[in-house]
Structure formats: structure tokens, C-alpha cells
């Protein structure tokens, strides 16, 4: 580990103040629980001039109901999300994903905002500075080429967050605060398929909250593949929200993580109105193959991660379609 680089630290009292500070400090970073950012800084991955610690902002860490939706402040810790009875009752898959993030000590300080905005990862990036230098650095930071796809002009580092896919499957929105005020977007549009520039947030915007729509009769699940069950990022992960009407799929939202530079919503519109049978499973498998782009970004082989993704998706939907058969 490197020594922590020098930076100034600010503790604004409101998110408005935090956003104003960020506008005037182009080389600054927001700080949530620090379980992603501080680890990376100790590895020499970044030299911010200033950290803007969001931990002192009271209403940033609140949970409230408004117009039937549940507003989760981006500063709520993952441990707090896992404790909340209203989430356990209406959004159990979200709680499952939250509890699958790292270990209990991480979740005690890790925030929802930090989880969604966490950095992308790659075996050529999450390394010590001297290792990276010996390799000529890489496109994501300090270098000019990607070692995963050598002739590429973009970085293929992978997004490995657990919470985003469930929020995408649930149709949640991100409330974003910038100098011009608040805007709301679907969670999936927070991201872009570029490992070096994976967030669509402007430099002076902060994620303020996540807006969860009512659970609305959907069955929702999340599965992740990992090597160590105690603490491990998803090597591949999938969230599914399914609404069944009789023998037909009334709604199907499938979101994946750990495979691409962004968590992605898989296109499933063609399956709506059909039964969940072998033909539908095959059609979804084909779409999944076209959407997921598993590359050599982790120590675990890409082939295993690809297979795990397909297998998990099939068994998750089988179980949601017919919970009695699975029990
Ligand atoms: C050993 C280990 C295992 C881990 N395992 C997992 C895992 O299994 N699954 C998983 O999902 N993650 C995992 N993580 C990553 C990390 O711990 C979690 O994602 C955590 O939720 C990050 O939250 P944080 O508040 O600590 O983020 P921070 O480290 O504070 O911030 C992360 C990033 O988000 C930005 N940010 C924070 N808040 C905002 C905001 N409001 N608006 C805009 N940008 C913001 C920061 O600038 C930073 O770039 C692991 C980390 C470690 C060290």
C-alpha cells in the first residue's frame, strides 16, 4: 500500500453546499464511507486535491415516504438499509443484495451513494502503483492503452456493484443534485459502457437519493457468483423482477452486473405476453449472450463467469415463475 496522498478535507453541512464546493474544486472527490475510494487512494489510484466528506449532512442519510415511493438518502449506510423493516417487507431482494456487499464492517460505514458510484475494477488497474508502472500503466489511469482489449480506444474495467442491478430491476430512479437543482433519471442511465468514465454524473453533481417505486406485485430476486462467500465482489450478478399473469409474462426486467463496464438492463420486451418455457428461456439466453461482455478483467476466468451468469439467470427466473416448484 502507498501512503495516503495529501488532500484537504471538507465537511459541508448540506448537499447544496457540497455541490457548490465541488463546482469550485475540479480535482476534488466526494467521500461517503470511504470503503472504495480510500482503499484505491492507498493503492495510488488517484490524487484528489480535496475530499468532500458527505458524512456530516443529516438529511442525506434519511429514509422517507413520499407519493407512494420510498426515498432512500444516498448517505444511508448499507447496514441501516439491511435493518429497515419496510425494506425487508417490500423489497427483500434489495436487502439480499445489500447483505451480499463486502463484510459487516464495510457495510457499517459504506453508503448507498458510494455503492452505486463505486469505481470500476480490473486486474490491470486494482494493483499497486509499482506493478502498474512496470506494465506501462493502463487506459483507465495514467496509461494510454487497455491491456484487456489491446487495440481498444476505451477502457474495459468492469462494474462490480451488487445494489445497482436490483434497483434497475425494480425500476428505481436516481435523484441527482447539481448547481441547477435536482433532476431524476432511471438508475440505469447513471452509467455508461466505459470503464474509465462509467458515470454519467457531471463533475459537479451528487447523487442525492434513490427513489423506489411501490413493489407492485412483482417477484424480485438477486443472485451473484463469487469465489469467497464471506467477502467478495460479484464475478457476475443478475437481478430479475417478474410479474406473472396466469400463464403469461406480464413484466420482466433483468439487470446484470460484474460483466460489463456498467450494470445493464437486458432487453426483454419480446418475451412479454409469452409463457416462461424452454423457448423463452432460449430467447433470453441469446439476448443475454449479446448484452453481457465478460472479458479477462478478473483473476477468475471469463468462461466460468459467463456460464455462471446464464445458469443463475435461468434458475432465478424458474424460481420466480413458480416459487412452489422451487421450494
Ligand atoms: C474488501 C472489499 C470488498 C468489497 N466487496 C464488495 C461487494 O461484494 N459488492 C459491492 O458492491 N461492493 C464491494 N466493495 C466496494 C465498496 O465497499 C462498496 O461498494 C461500498 O458500498 C462503497 O460505499 P462507500 O460509501 O464506502 O463509498 P466511497 O468509497 O466513499 O465512494 C465510492 C465512490 O463513490 C463516489 N461517491 C460517494 N458518494 C457519492 C455521491 N453521493 N454522489 C456522487 N459520487 C459519490 C466517491 O467519490 C467514490 O468515487 C468492497 C470493497 C472492499 C474493500
Which residues touch 45 (CB under 8 Å, ≥6 apart)? 119, 125, 126, 141
pLDDT for position 217: 87
120 C-alpha to ligand 1 centroid (Å): 10
284 C-alpha to ligand 1 centroid (Å): 31
- Measured from the CA of 30, which atom of ligand 1 is nearest? 47
pLDDT for position 327: 59
- Measured from the CA of 60, which atom of ligand 1 is nearest? 41
- Closest by CA to 207, choosing from 164, 171, 236, is 164
pLDDT for position 229: 85
pTM over 0.85: yes
Residue 2 CB coordination number (10 Å):
12
- Measured from the CA of 224, which atom of ligand 1 is nearest? 8
Kindly list the structural domains of the chain, giving each domain's residue range(s) and its CATH number in brackets, ordered by start: 1-54 (3.30.43.10), 63-116+158-326 (3.30.390.50)
> Please, what are the averages of pLDDT over each run of 10 residues along the chain (327 residues)?
91 98 97 98 96 95 94 98 96 98 98 98 95 95 95 96 98 97 98 98 97 93 93 96 98 98 98 98 98 96 97 98 80
pLDDT for position 1: 74
Question: Strand, helix or coil at 135?
Answer: coil
pLDDT for position 90: 95
Q: How far apart are CA 151 and CA 172, in angstroms?
A: 36
The DSSP secondary-structure symbol of 269 reads G
pLDDT for position 122: 98
CA distances 285 to 163, 168, 309, Å, are 23, 19, 10
114 C-alpha to ligand 1 centroid (Å): 4
Amino acid at each position: 500500500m502507498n501512503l495516503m496522498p495529501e488532500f484537504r478535507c471538507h465537511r459541508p453541512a448540506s448537499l447544496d453546499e457540497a455541490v457548490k464546493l465541488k463546482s469550485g474544486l475540479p480535482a476534488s472527490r466526494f467521500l461517503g464511507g470511504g470503503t472504495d475510494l480510500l482503499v484505491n487512494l492507498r493503492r495510488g489510484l488517484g490524487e484528489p486535491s480535496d475530499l468532500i466528506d458527505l458524512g456530516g449532512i443529516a438529511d442525506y442519510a434519511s429514509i422517507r415516504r413520499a407519493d407512494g415511493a420510498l426515498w432512500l438518502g444516498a448517505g444511508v449506510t448499507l447496514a441501516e438499509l439491511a435493518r429497515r423493516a419496510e425494506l425487508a417487507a417490500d423489497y427483500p431482494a434489495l436487502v439480499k443484495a445489500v447483505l451480499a456487499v463486502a463484510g459487516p464492517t464495510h457495510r457499517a460505514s459504506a453508503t448507498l451513494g458510494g455503492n452505486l458510484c463505486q469505481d470500476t475494477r480490473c486486474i490491470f488497474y486494482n494493483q499497486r502503483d509499482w506493478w502498474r508502472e512496470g506494465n506501462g500503466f493502463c487506459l483507465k489511469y495514467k496509461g494510454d492503452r487497455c491491456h484487456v482489449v489491446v487495440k481498444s480506444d476505451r477502457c474495459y474495467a468492469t462494474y462490480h456493484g451488487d445494489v445497482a442491478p436490483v434497483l434497475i430491476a425494480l425500476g428505481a430512479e436516481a435523484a441527482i443534485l447539481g448547481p441547477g437543482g435536482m433532476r431524476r433519471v432511471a438508475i440505469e442511465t447513471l452509467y455508461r459502457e466505459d470503464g474509465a468514465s462509467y458515470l454519467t454524473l457531471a463533475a459537479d453533481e451528487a447523487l442525492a437519493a434513490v427513489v423506489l417505486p411501490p413493489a407492485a406485485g412483482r417477484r424480485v430476486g438477486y443472485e451473484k457468483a463469487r469465489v469467497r462467500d464471506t467477502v467478495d465482489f460479484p464475478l457476475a450478478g443478475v437481478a430479475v423482477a417478474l410479474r406473472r399473469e396466469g400463464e403469461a409474462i406480464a413484466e420482466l426486467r433483468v439487470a446484470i452486473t460484474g460483466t460489463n463496464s456498467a450494470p445493464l438492463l437486458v432487453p426483454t420486451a419480446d418475451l412479454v405476453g409469452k409463457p416462461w418455457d424452454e423457448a423463452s428461456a432460449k430467447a433470453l439466453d441469446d439476448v443475454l449472450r449479446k448484452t453481457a461482455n465478460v472479458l479477462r478483467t478478473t483473476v477468475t476466468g471469463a468462461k466460468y463467469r459467463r456460464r455462471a451468469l446464464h445458469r443463475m439467470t435461468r434458475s432465478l427466473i424458474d424460481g420466480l415463475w413458480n416459487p412452489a416448484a422451487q421450494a
